[in-house]
Amino acid sequence: MKNDARIYIAGHQGLVGSAILRLLLQRGYSNLLLRSHAELDLTQAVAVKQFFQLEQPEYVFLAAAKVGGIQANDTYPADFIRDNLQIQINIIDAAYQTGVKKLLFLGSSCIYPKLAPQPLKEDYLLTGSLEPTNQWYAIAKIAGIKMCQAYRRQYQFNAISLMPTNLYGPGDNFHLTHSHVLPALIRKFHEAKLHGESAVSVWGSGNPRREFLHVDDLADAALFLMQHYDSEAIINIGVGKDIRIRELAELVKEVVGYPGAIQFDTSKPDGTLQKLLEVSRLQALGWQARISLRAGIESTYQWYLAHQGQFRQS
Residue 171 is labelled as binding a ligand: no
Residue 134 annotated as part of some ligand binding site:
no
Please state, for a pLDDT cut of 70, what percent of the chain lies above it: 98
Interval 250-305: pLDDT, tens: 999 999 999 999 999 999 888 778 889 999 999 999 999 999 999 999 999 999 99
Residue 30 CB contacts under 8 Å (≥ 6 apart), including other chains: 3, 4
Q: Is 201 annotated as a binding residue?
A: no
Averaged confidence pLDDT in the chain? 94
Least confident segment among 62-66, 68-72, 263-267: 68-72
| E strand residue ranges, 81-125 | 102-106
Is pLDDT of 85 > 70? yes
pTM of the predicted structure, to 2 decimals: 0.93
Residue 54 sits at φ, ψ, to 5 deg, of: -75, -45
13 is in an annotated binding site: yes
**Complete domains list, the chain, with CATH:** 7-171+212-239+276-291 (3.40.50.720)
pLDDT at site 235: 98
pLDDT higher than 60, residue 91: yes
166 is in an annotated binding site: yes
Is 265 flagged in the annotation as binding? no
* pLDDT at 314 exceeding the cut of 50: no
Q: How confident is the model at residue 134, as a pLDDT?
A: 86
Name, in order, each residue with C-beta under 8 angstroms of 194's C-beta and a sequence gap of 6 or more. Answer: none
Region 210-234 average pLDDT: 97
First-residue to last-residue Cα distance in the chain:
43
pLDDT of residue 103 exceeding 50 = yes
What confidence score (pLDDT) does residue 311 get? 67
CA-CA-CA-CA dihedral for 6, 10, 14, 16, to nearest 10: -70
Q: Of these residues, 8, 29, 112, 137, which one is catalytic?
A: 137
Mean pLDDT across 31-40: 96
Answer for the pair 181, 69: CB distance below 8 angstroms, yes or no. yes
Residue 181 banded pLDDT, cuts 50, 70, 90: confident
The pLDDT-based confidence of 20 (bands split at 50, 70, 90) is very high
Cα torsion 95, 80, 180, 107 to 10°: value is -30
Q: Is 2 marked as a binding-site residue?
A: no
Contact status, residue 256 vs residue 190, Cβ threshold 8 Å: yes
Closest by CA to 29, choosing from 52, 56, 54, 9, is: 9
Between residues 72 and 18, the one the model is more confident about: 18
141 in a labelled binding site: yes
Q: What is the dihedral of CA 264, 266, 267, 270, to 10 degrees?
A: 100
Is 203 annotated as a binding-site member? yes
Choice among 54-58, 119-123, 310-314 with the minimum mean pLDDT: 310-314
Respond yes or no: is residue 151 known to be catalytic. no
Q: How many residues does the chain have?
A: 314
